[in-house]
Amino acid sequence: MAYKVTLISGDGIGPEVSMATKKCLEATGVVFDWEEVLAGSAAIEKYGTPLPENVLKSVRKNKVAIKGPIITPIGKGFRSVNVALRQKLNLFACLRPAKSIPGIVSAYSDIDLVIVRENTEDLYAGIEFERGQPNTRKLILTLEKLQEKKISHDAAISIKPISPAASRRIVKFAFEYALSNNRKKVTAVHKANIMKFTDGLFLETAQRVAKEYEGRVKFDDCIVDNLAMQLVKNPQKFDVLVLPNLYGDIISDLCAGLIGGLGVAAGANIGKNIALFEPVHGSAPKYAGLNKVNPTAMILSGVLMLKHLGEFEAARRLEAAVIAVIKEGIYVTYDLKKIRDDASAVGTQEMADAICKRLR
């Protein structure tokens, strides 16, 4: 039976890494019935919106989706389609494994971490007030009445909601993931020393949830700035990290750097009964259409999808093929060559073809 899966190619380098991923997934022998839908810049041209309703409808129906990256204009234009998808589909958990791949030159060769990022709240909730707007002024005046600190009247404001329910849900997800994947420890990451009410609540909730898992999974916590330093100096001491949205975003890229860069970092967004798989990296517009970037991050997101579908043998074979091609170091993209401008680097599709060949 074919798996009906929504495929969102995205924009920038999205269509290229999506095409590469599609052929690798198909080369495993698992049969897919792709439902391809447009989001991002391509959707604006056709539908006048970056996130047409048919995208959400398709994912809700199929329950499984894989997507390439989508651009988010900085400081203007439409809000992030990536964030909107996670929020509208209630994909509350973002799972980002960071595991060293043999053959990749990096500061460490023994990284094996999992990042669990909360996806629905925090400064990412999109509750923002623009500088100089009447509502912003009203908010500032109200805030000045409610507490003693002065706020510059020409300030812009972003709101950071952190709730007990969403915190509990994500921390429980991290512990359940740890249990079912034979992980030993969960570390809650926060800045509760400064943000006593929001991050304080996240930490307090995490400590309470940890008690339910006592004796089965270890627990500790770490302040986010200290974590950033420790991850660079001694990453082996961490196992599963659970973080609020913004810290999760930043630390994911740091961990991608630990395993060799954004070109190899895979991810999944998971809700109650819907899962959407996507690489950690963005749409890298300067490389769009050049057949140059590394398809690994999205292919490994496809491996996560195969596991989610219960296709464990296909997942194991595809992951092994990716590792073999990278270890051999011949049919790999520029970012995986020891010298960056190595003329023997191959393109996105050629690397995917080499992976497909390994599968046969």
- Residue 282 engages ligand NAD in binding (rule: CB under 6 A): yes
> Measured over all CA atoms, what is the biggest interatomic distance in the chain, rounded to whole angstroms?
69
Site size with ligand NAD, rule: CB under 6 A: 18
Using DSSP, state whether 281 is helix, strand or coil: coil
Candidate list 9, 58, 167, 294; residue touching ligand NAD; CB under 6 A: 294
Which among 96, 101, 128, 127 has a CA at the least distance from the CA of 113? 96
Candidate list 82, 136, 187, 198; residue touching ligand NAD; CB under 6 A: 82
Candidate list 37, 38, 255, 297; residue touching ligand NAD; CB under 6 A: 297
Interstrand relation of 112-118 and 185-190 (parallel, antiparallel or unpaired): unpaired
Candidate list 235, 248, 263, 347; residue touching ligand NAD; CB under 6 A: 263
- Residue 21 engages ligand NAD in binding (rule: CB under 6 A): no
Q: Tokens at residue 118, please?
A: 């909360």
Catalytic residue among 196, 225, 237, 286: 225
Is the Cβ–Cβ distance between 62 and 5 less than 8 Å?
yes
Which stretch, 41-49, 233-241, 289-297, 309-317, contacts ligand NAD (CB under 6 A)? Answer: 289-297
- Residue 20 engages ligand NAD in binding (rule: CB under 6 A): no
Candidate list 281, 299, 319, 323; residue touching ligand NAD; CB under 6 A: 281
Using DSSP, state whether 277 is helix, strand or coil: strand
Q: What backbone phi and psi angles, to 5 degrees, belong to 196?
A: -65, -35
Which stretch, 145-153, 195-203, 283-291, 306-314, contacts ligand NAD (CB under 6 A)? Answer: 283-291
- Residue 206 or 302 having the CB closest to ligand NAD: 302
User: What is the residue whose two structure tokens read 């009203």?
Assistant: 138
Interstrand relation of 240-243 and 218-223 (parallel, antiparallel or unpaired): unpaired
- Residue 114 or 300 having the CB closest to ligand NAD: 300
Candidate list 6, 119, 136, 283; residue touching ligand NAD; CB under 6 A: 283
Distance CA(210)–CA(187), nearest Å, equals 10
Which stretch, 162-170, 192-200, 205-213, 276-284, contacts ligand NAD (CB under 6 A)? Answer: 276-284
124 is catalytic: yes
220 is catalytic: no
Using DSSP, state whether 9 is helix, strand or coil: coil
- Residue 68 or 244 having the CB closest to ligand NAD: 68
Strand order in the sheet with 64-67: 32-37, 3-8, 64-67, 275-277, 268-270, 93-99, 112-118, 240-243, 185-190, 218-223
Catalytic residue among 177, 249, 292, 334: 249
225 is catalytic: yes
47 is catalytic: no
Q: Residue 341 class from Cβ within 10 Å (0-12 exposed, 13-18 middle, 19+ buried)?
A: exposed
Candidate list 186, 284, 314, 352; residue touching ligand NAD; CB under 6 A: 284
Q: Tokens at residue 207, please?
A: 């400590």
DSSP state of 237: G
Residues near ligand NAD, by CB under 6 A: 17, 69-72, 82, 262-263, 278, 281-284, 286, 293-294, 297, 335
User: Catalytic amino acids?
Assistant: 124, 191, 225, 249
